[in-house]
Protein backbone atom coordinates (compact mmCIF):
# COMPACT_ATOMS: atom_id res chain seq x y z
CA UNK A 1 0.00 0.00 0.00
CA UNK A 2 1.54 3.33 -0.99
CA UNK A 3 1.88 6.30 1.38
CA UNK A 4 -0.73 8.38 -0.48
CA UNK A 5 -3.43 5.73 0.01
CA UNK A 6 -2.60 5.36 3.72
CA UNK A 7 -2.84 9.12 4.19
CA UNK A 8 -6.23 9.31 2.44
CA UNK A 9 -7.55 6.38 4.43
CA UNK A 10 -6.52 7.99 7.72
CA UNK A 11 -8.17 11.29 6.77
CA UNK A 12 -11.36 9.40 5.81
CA UNK A 13 -11.54 7.88 9.30
CA UNK A 14 -11.09 11.10 11.26
CA UNK A 15 -14.54 12.67 10.62
CA UNK A 16 -16.23 9.69 12.29
CA UNK A 17 -14.40 10.44 15.53
CA UNK A 18 -15.49 14.08 15.40
CA UNK A 19 -19.07 13.20 14.46
CA UNK A 20 -19.59 10.56 17.16
CA UNK A 21 -20.66 12.87 20.06
CA UNK A 22 -23.26 14.71 17.94
CA UNK A 23 -26.33 12.49 18.26
CA UNK A 24 -26.02 12.21 22.03
CA UNK A 25 -25.51 15.94 22.50
CA UNK A 26 -28.55 16.79 20.39
CA UNK A 27 -30.69 14.33 22.33
CA UNK A 28 -29.37 15.73 25.64
CA UNK A 29 -30.31 19.25 24.57
CA UNK A 30 -33.86 18.14 23.68
CA UNK A 31 -34.24 16.18 26.91
CA UNK A 32 -33.01 19.13 29.03
CA UNK A 33 -35.60 21.47 27.49
CA UNK A 34 -38.43 18.96 27.84
CA UNK A 35 -37.49 18.26 31.48
CA UNK A 36 -37.57 21.98 32.24
CA UNK A 37 -33.89 22.07 33.23
CA UNK A 38 -33.33 24.87 30.69
CA UNK A 39 -35.73 27.16 28.83
CA UNK A 40 -34.08 26.61 25.45
CA UNK A 41 -31.05 24.96 23.94
CA UNK A 42 -28.90 25.26 20.85
CA UNK A 43 -26.77 22.25 19.95
CA UNK A 44 -23.70 23.09 17.90
CA UNK A 45 -23.44 19.84 15.96
CA UNK A 46 -21.93 19.26 12.57
CA UNK A 47 -23.45 17.87 10.40
CA UNK A 48 -27.21 17.62 10.88
CA UNK A 49 -26.80 14.30 9.10
CA UNK A 50 -29.92 14.40 6.96
CA UNK A 51 -28.50 11.83 4.51
CA UNK A 52 -27.46 9.19 7.07
CA UNK A 53 -29.89 6.29 7.12
CA UNK A 54 -30.33 3.63 9.81
CA UNK A 55 -28.18 1.11 7.99
CA UNK A 56 -25.52 3.32 6.42
CA UNK A 57 -23.71 6.63 6.28
CA UNK A 58 -24.30 8.65 3.14
CA UNK A 59 -23.44 12.04 1.64
CA UNK A 60 -20.76 12.92 4.23
CA UNK A 61 -23.27 12.19 7.02
CA UNK A 62 -22.17 9.52 9.51
CA UNK A 63 -25.00 9.93 12.02
CA UNK A 64 -28.42 11.49 11.65
CA UNK A 65 -28.26 13.96 14.52
CA UNK A 66 -31.61 15.55 13.67
CA UNK A 67 -33.49 12.25 13.58
CA UNK A 68 -31.94 11.12 16.87
CA UNK A 69 -32.97 14.38 18.55
CA UNK A 70 -36.50 14.12 17.12
CA UNK A 71 -36.79 10.53 18.36
CA UNK A 72 -35.59 11.62 21.82
CA UNK A 73 -38.28 14.30 21.86
CA UNK A 74 -40.96 11.82 20.80
CA UNK A 75 -39.88 9.27 23.41
CA UNK A 76 -40.20 12.04 26.03
CA UNK A 77 -43.82 12.65 24.97
CA UNK A 78 -43.34 15.71 22.73
CA UNK A 79 -44.74 16.02 19.21
CA UNK A 80 -41.71 17.22 17.19
CA UNK A 81 -41.74 18.69 13.72
CA UNK A 82 -38.57 18.36 11.66
CA UNK A 83 -38.16 21.09 9.05
CA UNK A 84 -35.29 20.28 6.68
CA UNK A 85 -34.51 23.31 4.52
CA UNK A 86 -31.64 22.49 2.19
CA UNK A 87 -30.77 22.38 -1.49
CA UNK A 88 -31.71 18.70 -1.69
CA UNK A 89 -33.93 16.13 0.01
CA UNK A 90 -32.95 14.70 3.40
CA UNK A 91 -33.43 11.06 2.50
CA UNK A 92 -31.96 9.82 5.77
CA UNK A 93 -34.42 11.70 7.96
CA UNK A 94 -37.28 10.36 5.85
CA UNK A 95 -35.90 6.82 6.08
CA UNK A 96 -35.50 6.91 9.86
CA UNK A 97 -38.76 8.71 10.67
CA UNK A 98 -40.96 7.01 8.05
CA UNK A 99 -42.87 4.86 10.55
CA UNK A 100 -42.56 7.20 13.53
CA UNK A 101 -45.23 9.60 14.78
CA UNK A 102 -43.04 12.60 13.87
CA UNK A 103 -43.88 15.22 11.25
CA UNK A 104 -41.16 15.75 8.63
CA UNK A 105 -41.09 18.51 6.01
CA UNK A 106 -38.32 18.72 3.43
CA UNK A 107 -37.96 21.94 1.45
CA UNK A 108 -35.42 21.59 -1.33
CA UNK A 109 -34.73 23.06 -4.72
CA UNK A 110 -35.99 21.47 -7.89
CA UNK A 111 -33.23 20.09 -10.09
CA UNK A 112 -32.62 22.17 -13.20
CA UNK A 113 -32.69 20.37 -16.53
CA UNK A 114 -29.67 20.79 -18.74
CA UNK A 115 -30.26 22.59 -22.04
SS3 sequence of the chain: CCHHHHHHHHHHHHHHHHHCCHHHHHHHHHHHHHHCCCCCCCCCCCCCCCCCCCCCCECCECCCHHHHHHHHHHHCCCCCEEEEECCCCCHHHHHHHCCCCCEEEEECCCCCCCC
50 is catalytic: no
- Selecting among 50, 51, 88, 89, the annotated active-site residue is 51
Candidates 101, 100, 104, 103; CA nearest to 90 is: 104
Just list the catalytic residues: 51
Amino acid sequence: MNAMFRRERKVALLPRQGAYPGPGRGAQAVEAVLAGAVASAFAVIRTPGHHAECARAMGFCFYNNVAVAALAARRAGARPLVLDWDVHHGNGIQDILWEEDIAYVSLHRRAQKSA
